[in-house]
Amino acid sequence: MITPEVTATATAPGRPRGGLVNVPKRFLPVIATFVVFVATFGVGSVRYEGFASGQVMANLFIDNAFLIVLAVGMTFVILTGGIDLSVGSVVALSTMIAASALQAGWPAWLVVVTVLATGSALGLAMGWVIHRFGVQPFIVTLAGMFLARGLCFVISVESVSIKDPAFRELATGSIELPGGVTITYGVVIALVTVLAAVYVLHLTRFGRTVYAVGGSESSARLMGLATTRVKVGVYVISGFCSALGGLLFSLYMLSGYSLHAVGMELDAIAAVVVGGSLLSGGVGFVIGSVVGVLVLGTIQTLISFEGTLSSWWTKIVIGALLLAFIALQRIIVRRT
Amino acid sequence: MTEPVVDMRGISVEFPGVKALQEVDFRLFPGEVHALMGENGAGKSTLIKALTGVHRIAAGEVRYAGERVSFSAPAEAQAAGISTVYQEVNLCGNLTVAENILLGREPRKLGRIDGKAMRARAAELLARIGLHIDPGSVLESHPIAVQQLVAIARAVAVDARVLVLDEPTSSLDADEVAELFRIIRVLRDEGVAVLFVTHFLEQVYEISDRMTVLRNGRLVGEHMTAALSRIDLVSAMLGREMGVLEEIERRSGTPGEPLLVAEGLGRKGSVAPFDLEIRKGEVVGLAGLLGSGRTEVARLLFGADKADSGRLLVDGKQVRLTGPRAAIEAGVAFSSEDRKAEGIVADLSVRDNLILAMQAARGWARPVPRKLADELVAKYIELLDIRPADPDRAVGNLSGGNQQKVLLARWLVTQPKLLILDEPTRGIDVGAKAQIQKVVADLAAEGMAVLFISAELEEVVRVSDRVVVMRDRQKVAELDGEVGVDDVMALIAGGGDHGVDQGVEKAVAS
Amino acid sequence: MKNRLLWPVVALVALLMLNVVVTPSFFSVRLQDGHLYGSLIDILRNGAPTLLIALGMTLVIATRGIDLSVGAVAAIAGAVTCTHIASGGNAWVAMGLALALCAVLGLWNGFLVSVLGIQPIIATLVLMTAGRGIAMLITEGQIITVNDDSYRQVGAGFLVLPIAILISLAVLGLVALVTRRTALGLLIESVGVNPSASRLAGVRARTIIWTVYVFAALCAAVAGLMISSNVSAADANNAGLWIEMDAILAVVIGGTSLAGGRYSLTGTLLGALIIQTLTTTVYTIGIAPEITLVFKAIVVIAVCLMQAPVGIRVRVRGKQGVPA
Ligand SMILES: Nc1ncnc2c1ncn2[C@@H]1O[C@H](COP(=O)(O)OP(=O)(O)OP(=O)(O)O)[C@@H](O)[C@H]1O
Ligand SMILES: [Mg+2]
């Protein structure tokens, strides 16, 4: 073939030189989200005493560890231009399976494996249907949402509490960081998930193909990339993350219940989108989604610091803050 | 003679309602450059896609390197050594240039992608085809032509036995074409079989050894290039004698009063402020290299990009620089070079696409009457010879050249005062190209002003009354009267003070 | 489009048949006091709000958008009307107020999407969250019951057929007429398929997007009135809960793609009927409440698989050698 000799042809005059504005532009939404997050946190610390403590920050992670994991899975799916509505229900199903299996006396490790396998299998099934039959992801995963929620009710309509010592140990145990700040094991698991996702998305062929499929699926196919594997794979990943998120949630609640995590899929989607990903696919970063979760978490924290809001004002304020975040982010992105 | 590396026999491909290919035979030998010729919609791209496993073959067999194969996905053809550049740029705009070149075969270290090595390798491959851009830049920030070069870089990056290039040169300048041909020759001499599609006859005669001619989905014949004259080739493609290619007559009448006047129009980072005047009944050509700013000028005039300095007058009235609608209301029409992203509305029918601009101007409450729409559609399908002549077919299923004709028709029905055409003949066959050039000349004769942009200098010079030359995102000259290709070339290349008649060059201070 | 509607029809017929097998009197309709009664009529009446919302949703989806706020908007409409009536207001004025307020909410959604360029799912999520709060604010967290005959007509009244279904069908007819007789349908589809090409062709994409969100909000408002009038009460928390999902489901089952572009109003009608029949079926054939959702999931998947673009076609592969 061609020997890799470099022909040094002179650049024709006037040829556009790429990369003038482009590289940072991709990161802009993430940076904007981060700036907005910091700003809100700043506002909170001026307004409320004790807001700016390390522990409040750590609690943000503790209270949202499961959501971080869900958002990671959702990011994979959204990057390919898909969507996964089943995550909230899969979380509920996972808590249900975990709680009832533990109640039935299964060893903790087996419970964990079963839950993760169930979530992944559900994801695999949905991904396969989406890919093989060309049915829209929204519908397939909506059916998955019904199915998982339905299976919860089949297992039990009552709430089942978790009494397993290993689980309780994990749930209540904490790790002390320098400065007297403590975090839970859940936080560690969530952060490891994030790192793994970053690695996969940016440094593996699978990850880059995820972006390619989101950019243009037909092009990716014509380029000879493994689009099938990716399109199905992202739902498996999301299913796995939902199950893992479900386990974290069961640690957080120490119970399994059919009505856990209702509407949580919307939180996950919101986090991903607030973090700068486009639902049309191909654009976004896992880190953005994590910041997105922190933004949603901060909103909750602000509300709880405010303390005296009636339940309807809470909803209105959440909506308003969400709006403020998105609007600010848009402004930052447009200005630059 | 050696064995053919690709041997397709009796190939038929069908789409709902169309027989795109019927019993076509095609052979490709190692070490040859083989041109696949035919009009728009003849089935060239379909044959290629049948080979690489994109389309399913209804009948016939494909032999590759002596063995019977049936690829079910492009990935399989690629793995087997068939490297393809498809007609529309099929890359991922959201990824970097380097990734687009190397995706699927990135250099890896311990299973993870080695970003540095990847960029270095990409830079090397880009340099090989004479392209010097930052491999880390995002693909969609580059103009279509650069994207096309990147697609070529991707295709030649692998050790392939067969290289398929479907209209790779449609948006390239002479320099890039020369560079590409140099590479093709190197590959050919190494024994690679190259399949090449283009509508530029000069290029076919320059590079190809053999050609296969298709017409209406059927094989017309296979010929050695040297043994077939141009006239014979054209009549083989068209199936009739070539009548339309008559010389466009230069209009003698003097152009009317100024229609469009731009004063100091410019946009930071895009085009330096420029002055421009276009008269009624005049065709002004815009020449320049890729990225010289020719497309940007057109976009500013139309408001597709917002100008941040200067003013624009149409018919003596100042046009608000707010966007396409203001321009359209003032009587300006613009057909973008990026047919796929900014032109066709793929899922809608030919009829709907054709009346879209007219309908948009009328507003939603006043629909174009069905009867009028049918008349217009019938008229332009006939005038521009759009094929298949079926107004209800989704435009996305038309061949590339026919999509272009639909876009041209979309603006013609609005009867604009100024028509801006950015690469209107890209990917259009010889016959249709002559037709379009003739339509442009006729429109001008009827008093319409036209701004004509094309990468092909001969064409610009042929259709234009006046040529504006761009270089380095600045307007550098305006050439009047009998302009020759060489004059323009000298200006484009820079240092244009020599050899050009100073009398016609009005250098623009900026 | 035509044959893609075949499978939804088949699914609907199959569901109805299933009901007949279980309850032989399922198809019987009787006329009593000039009102039609029967299971079929119930399906129509209960499905009216979903159908109405799905109609608005169809146009929004055709422009590549989505509107998650419709359920909340429906709750607000009910809340406004009932509160006004409860404080002694006239029912018609109350409904007028509700519609006006919801039109403003639609303008708001349209503003976020078309002017600020926020992704529709997140732009409407704002109102989905805050909207319930607004509804509760209006009702002050109470369930407001009213006793007003003219208001009750909207959701529970009869003009031979239930008035609710007459309203929904009238809106369906109106939308079909307006979008297909004017150029609105074409422009909506063109914005949905290729926004940038449409912009360059001079289409007022912004106005169109704005229009569809306002229309969706108005549909949601009327649906909200039906829901609340049917029970003569406004429940800010639960009225129209998750109805956005049912509406989206109806649109998609009807063959409209969430990626925007071509849409089918007939398809949406079928989709809404399938969903409502499904819900009714669950009761009539006595499926245990625990597995209702599982049953629903199976039916949805079955319908979608039947009309999937890539049928259960098995690709016959030849020998795929990679020659040496
Ligand atoms: N996906 C498709 N669905 C339906 N018809 C198609 C499809 N692709 C191509 N066709 C039809 O098949 C015929 C051959 O098209 P093809 O793209 O092969 O033409 P071509 O020779 O490459 O033309 P051009 O020079 O314009 O690129 C045309 O009539 C076209 O409308
Ligand atoms: Mg072609």
> How many whole angstroms separate alpha carbon A267 and alpha carbon A255?
21
Interface list for C 108-137 with B (CB within 8 A): none
**What confidence tier does A19 reach under pLDDT thresholds 50, 70, 90?**
very low
Yes or no: say if A191 and A62 are a contact pair by the CB < 8 Å rule: no
Q: Is B18 in the pocket of ligand 1 (CB under 6 A)?
A: yes
Q: Which residues contact C315 (CB under 8 A, 6 or more apart)?
A: B56, B72
Tell me the chain C residues in contact with residue A143 when contact means C-beta distances shorter than 8 Å: 296-298, 300-301, 304
For tokens 């848009």, the residue is: A330
Q: Is B399 in the pocket of ligand 1 (CB under 6 A)?
A: yes
Is residue A98 in some structural domain? yes
Instruction: Considering only the beta carbons, identify the residue of B56, B67, B363 that sits closest to C321.
Output: B67
> Which residue's CA is minimally distant from atom 18 of ligand 1?
B43
Tell me the chain B residues in contact with residue C196 when contact means C-beta distances shorter than 8 Å: 341-342
pLDDT tens profile C242-291: 899 899 999 988 888 888 899 999 999 999 999 999 888 888 778 877 77
Q: What CATH number matches the domain at B6-244, 3.40.50.300, 3.40.109.10, 3.40.640.10, 3.10.105.10?
A: 3.40.50.300
Interface list for A 276-305 with B (CB within 8 A): 282-283
Q: Is B335 in the pocket of ligand 1 (CB under 6 A)?
A: no
The whole-angstrom distance between residue C287's C-alpha and the CA centroid of its chain comes to 25
Instruction: Evaluate if residue C4 carries a pLDDT over 80.
Output: no
Helical segments of B387-471, H only = 400-412, 430-445, 457-463
- Confidence at residue B501, expressed as pLDDT on a 0 to 100 scale: 39
**What confidence tier does A326 reach under pLDDT thresholds 50, 70, 90?**
confident
Cα torsion A251, A255, A260, A265 to 10°: value is 20
> How many whole angstroms separate alpha carbon B482 and alpha carbon B475?
20
For chain C, the domains span 35-270
Helical segments of B144-266, H only = 144-155, 174-189, 201-207, 230-238
CB contact under 8 A, B367 and C182: yes
Containing B312, the helix (H) or strand (E) segment is strand B309-314
Is residue A83 in some structural domain? yes
Instruction: Evaluate if residue A1 carries a pLDDT over 60.
Output: no
Q: Residues C65-75: what's their mean pLDDT?
A: 96
> Which residue's CA is minimally distant from atom 22 of ligand 1?
B45
Q: What is the mean pLDDT of chain A?
A: 86
Q: Which ligand sits closest to the CA of B38?
A: 1
Single out the residue of C279, C272, C304, C307 nearest to residue C293, CA to CA. Answer: C279
Cα–Cα distances (Å) from C253 to C5, C188, C290, in that order, read 9, 20, 24
pLDDT tens profile B138-147: 998 888 888 9
Q: Which ligand sits closest to the CA of B429?
A: 1
Residue numbers of the domain that contains A117: 66-266+277-284
> How many whole angstroms separate alpha carbon B32 and alpha carbon A293?
58
pLDDT tens profile A48-75: 888 888 888 899 999 999 999 999 999 9
Q: Is B87 in the pocket of ligand 1 (CB under 6 A)?
A: yes
> How many whole angstroms separate alpha carbon B52 and alpha carbon B28?
14
B171: left (phi over 0), alpha (psi -120 to 50) or beta: alpha
pLDDT tens profile A130-143: 998 888 898 899 99
Q: Which residues contact B470 (CB under 8 A, 6 or more apart)?
A: A14, B286, B287, B288, B292, B293, B294, B297, B476
Cα–Cα distances (Å) from C81 to B288, C94, C100, C156, in that order, read 66, 5, 11, 16
Select, from the ranges A269-273, B394-398, C50-54, the one with the highest average predicted confidence (pLDDT): C50-54
- Confidence at residue B252, expressed as pLDDT on a 0 to 100 scale: 52
Instruction: Considering only the beta carbons, identify the residue of A13, A23, A208 that sits closest to B136.
Output: A23
For tokens 């005062």, the residue is: B417
> How many whole angstroms separate alpha carbon B450 and alpha carbon B278?
8
ipTM: 0.84
> How many whole angstroms separate alpha carbon B263 and alpha carbon C139?
61
Instruction: Evaluate if residue C150 carries a pLDDT over 70.
Output: yes
Any idea which of A5-14, A94-103, B481-490, C149-158 has the lowest mean pLDDT?
A5-14
The identity of residue A261, as a single letter, is A
Instruction: Considering only the beta carbons, identify the residue of B76, B347, B359 that sits closest to C262.
Output: B347
- Confidence at residue A12, expressed as pLDDT on a 0 to 100 scale: 34
Single out the residue of A44, C200, C74 nearest to residue B407, CA to CA. Answer: C200
Sign of the alpha-carbon dihedral angle for B234, B237, B240, B243: negative
Yes or no: say if B339 and B407 are a contact pair by the CB < 8 Å rule: yes
Tell me the chain A residues in contact with residue C304 when contact means C-beta distances shorter than 8 Å: 133, 135-136, 139-140, 143
Containing B68, the helix (H) or strand (E) segment is strand B67-69
Instruction: Considering only the beta carbons, identify the residue of B65, B71, B348 that sits closest to C320.
Output: B71
Q: What percent of chain C is modeled with pLDDT above 70?
A: 94
Q: Is B212 in the pocket of ligand 1 (CB under 6 A)?
A: no
pLDDT tens profile C206-243: 999 999 999 999 999 999 999 999 999 999 989 988 89
Q: Is B200 in the pocket of ligand 1 (CB under 6 A)?
A: no
Q: Residues A313-329: what's their mean pLDDT?
A: 83
Domain count, chain A: 1
> How many whole angstroms separate alpha carbon C92 and alpha carbon B380?
54
**What confidence tier does A8 reach under pLDDT thresholds 50, 70, 90?**
very low
Beta bridge partners of B34: B195, B210
Give me the helix-helix angle, B400-412 and B430-445, nearest 10°. Answer: 10
Yes or no: say if B183 and A2 are a contact pair by the CB < 8 Å rule: yes
For tokens 């504006």, the residue is: B468
The identity of residue B12, as a single letter, is S
Beta bridge partners of A220: none
Q: Residues C288-301: what's their mean pLDDT?
A: 81
Q: Which residues contact C231 (CB under 8 A, 6 or more apart)?
A: C155
Ligand 1 atom at minimum distance from B388 CA: 29
DSSP state letters, B22-61? EEEEEEE-TT-EEEEE--TTSSHHHHHHHHTTSSPPSEEE
Chain A residue whose CA is closest to C136: A312
Yes or no: say if A210 and A234 are a contact pair by the CB < 8 Å rule: yes
Yes or no: say if B501 and B467 are a contact pair by the CB < 8 Å rule: no
Instruction: Considering only the beta carbons, identify the residue of B97, B99, B104 that sits closest to A18.
Output: B97
> How many whole angstroms separate alpha carbon B496 and alpha carbon B471?
10
**Which residues of chain B register pLDDT less than 50?**
244, 496-510
Q: Tell me what percent of chain B is helix, strand and coil, each rounded to the nearest 5.
A: 35, 25, 40
> How many whole angstroms separate alpha carbon A115 and alpha carbon A101?
10
Is residue A202 in some structural domain? yes
pLDDT tens profile B437-451: 888 888 898 889 999
Here the contacts of B177-185 (C-beta below 8 Å, separation 24 or greater) are B177/B203, B179/A9, B179/B129, B179/B130, B180/B129, B180/B152, B181/B206, B181/B207, B183/A2, B183/B128, B183/B129, B183/B156, B184/B33, B185/B33
Q: What CATH number matches the domain at B247-509, 3.90.230.10, 3.40.50.2300, 3.90.1150.10, 3.40.50.300?
A: 3.40.50.300
What is the Å distance from ligand 1's center to A142 Cα?
37
Single out the residue of B301, A153, A93, A150 nearest to residue C297, CA to CA. Answer: A150
Single out the residue of B336, B467, B348 nearest to residue B398, CA to CA. Answer: B348
User: How is residue C59 written in tokens?
Assistant: 């146009």
Select, from the ranges A22-26, A173-177, B289-293, the one with the highest average predicted confidence (pLDDT): A173-177
Min Cα–Cα distance to chain A from C76, Å: 13
The whole-angstrom distance between residue B365's C-alpha and the CA centroid of its chain comes to 36
Cα–Cα distances (Å) from C290 to A154, B311, C279, C286, in that order, read 6, 70, 14, 11
Yes or no: say if A288 and A26 are a contact pair by the CB < 8 Å rule: no
pLDDT tens profile A27-37: 888 888 888 88
DSSP state letters, C13-60? HHHHHHHHHH-GGGG--EEETTEEESHHHHHHHHHHHHHHHHHHHHHH
> How many whole angstroms separate alpha carbon B260 and alpha carbon B263?
10
> How many whole angstroms separate alpha carbon B394 and alpha carbon B388?
11
Instruction: Evaluate if residue C321 carries a pLDDT over 70.
Output: no
What is the Å distance from ligand 2's center to B49 Cα?
10
Cα–Cα distances (Å) from B507 to B67, B307, B381, B476, B493, in that order, read 62, 22, 43, 5, 15
CB contact under 8 A, A216 and B90: yes
Min Cα–Cα distance to chain B from C65, Å: 17
Q: Which residues contact B364 (CB under 8 A, 6 or more apart)?
A: C182, C183, C184, C187, C208
CB contact under 8 A, C320 and B72: yes
- Confidence at residue B411, expressed as pLDDT on a 0 to 100 scale: 94
pLDDT tens profile C195-206: 999 999 999 999
For chain B, the domains span 6-244, 247-509
Is residue A302 in some structural domain? no
Residues in chain A: 336
**What confidence tier does C3 reach under pLDDT thresholds 50, 70, 90?**
low
- Strand spans (E) along B89-134: 108-109, 112-113
Tell me the chain C residues in contact with residue B391 when contact means C-beta distances shorter than 8 Å: none
CB contact under 8 A, B138 and A23: yes
